[in-house]
Amino acid sequence: MSQHQAAIVQALPLHAVYLSFDLQENVSQSAVRKALQQLQTLADGERLVIGIGASLAGFLQASIPGLREFSGIAGSKVRLPATPAALWCWLREDERGELLHQQIRLQQALAGAFVLQQKTDAFKYAGGRDLSGYEDGTENPQGDEALAVAIAADGSSYVAIQQWEHRFDRLQAMPQAEQDDMIGRRKDDNEELDDAPESAHVKRTAQENFEPEAFVMRRSMPWSDGANGGLYFVAFATSYAAFEAQLRRMSGAEDGMTDALFQFTQPQTGSYFWCPPLLSGKADLRLLGVS
């Protein structure tokens, strides 16, 4: 019986690495399927969550309903980069050394067919806060509701990825009250502000205020690279519709008003992937011709 990748709804780890891969030039379908067979044994859905990109499915002449590339939002008032990849991997550990060993095993398994596009180191900060100091994922669904939002009937899921880079100098230049108005919550106690401006992030993305409602399961984590950092945004759902509804409103494409969040942070990437279910404890890749 198919099962979902459990980490999609589990608590966040202390440490993580997000890896995106492209296909090697002139690689054969047989080499790709062989690499995916090796990946299957590592992708347990808890320590390693995987997502399949539309380019990989297309290369293997596989049809995955609902899977497509992120191509931005028509009418957006802000830059929303589209950075497709063939394969996405979320490595999760509570010990940094184990994360390194897991990454080595993964890259060895994929070496014959895939090339690393991007590597992002992430971590849990201040009990689950963004590097801005504000709590992240406050409105996430819980329990059975989380499963209903994030997991399709066959155990698969669809994930939207955006790596946001913060301008800490801009944030630090804002008075605390202005920061709270930008987010729509108080930083110190996470209470929502009744009188927050309409551009506040909380108001722009209130999941219950869309028609239909736009709920996603956020599994975002802070990232850093030297003195740079931000939030690696990850949203799981049964389609991309809820994510796009939120992003359409955030970007000003819906009503011309952009989310105040763009005052200090901007997305640097944007990708869609399909996360396969598990079968007998390993990734079920039969739709790709891998068994």
Catalytic residues: 136
Residues 284 and 183: beta-carbon distance below 8 Å: no
Residues 48 and 91: beta-carbon distance below 8 Å: yes
Q: What is the β-pairing status of strands 265-267 and 15-23? A: unpaired
Residue 130 Cα distances to 84, 156, 260, angstroms: 25, 28, 16
Beta-carbon contacts of 260 under 8 Å, excluding residues fewer than 6 positions away, are 181, 182, 183, 197, 199, 200, 201, 204
- Residues 184, 176: Cα–Cα separation, whole Å: 12
